[in-house]
Amino acid sequence: MKWNRIALVLITVSLLVVPQAWSQGGNAEQQIKTLLDQTIAAQLKADTKFFEKIDADDYTTIRGDGSVLTKAQEIEGFKSGVIKYEAADLKDVKVRVYGNTAITTVLLTISNIRNGKPYSGTIRSTRVWVKQKGNWKCVANQATRVSQ
């Protein structure tokens, strides 16, 4: 009789906990997708306040040409106009959540100006997100040009 009660309690707890864990994963995935959309909108508007909030202090980005920018350098690029996005279109968005870490991969068609030089084309981008103090922060971004 005692084992039956223990089994019943374990089954009940499992039925309550497992769906909650699944829903948190889906919730995190949707949160990250929303942040990706907001990131693109912020790039188009050069919204530096958004990047000050969403990027971790130790954020780095590796651009398609192999150069590396810190959070401060990227924000300064937007402020000074050295980095200016004219158009961006996200496709093939994939989000994988691993607890407090999420990895996104996207196919992105962009048109921008960097250091006075226009660039348009398609890139694949991978972003790493970490949940810090209850908020998702982007800690790294890496972009690779897709050959035509």
- What pLDDT digit, counting tens, does each position of 34-77 carry? 999 999 999 999 999 999 999 999 999 998 888 999 999 999 99
Sequence-distant (≥ 6) Cβ neighbours of residue 14 within 8 angstroms: none
- The pLDDT score that the predictor gives to residue 114 is 82
Q: 2-145, what's its fold?
A: Nuclear Transport Factor 2; Chain: A, (3.10.450)
pTM: 0.79
Confidence band of 135 (pLDDT split at 50, 70, 90) = very high
The angle subtended at Cα 40 by Cα 124 and Cα 133, nearest 5°, is 100
Say yes or no to pLDDT of 24 above 50.
no
- The pLDDT score that the predictor gives to residue 6 is 52
Q: Kind of pairing, strands 101-114 and 68-70?
A: unpaired
Sequence-distant (≥ 6) Cβ neighbours of residue 43 within 8 angstroms: 78, 85, 88
Residue 44: both structure tokens together = 């188009």
Q: What is the pLDDT of residues 76-116, one digit of tens each?
A: 999 998 889 988 888 999 999 999 999 999 998 988 888 88
- The pLDDT score that the predictor gives to residue 112 is 84
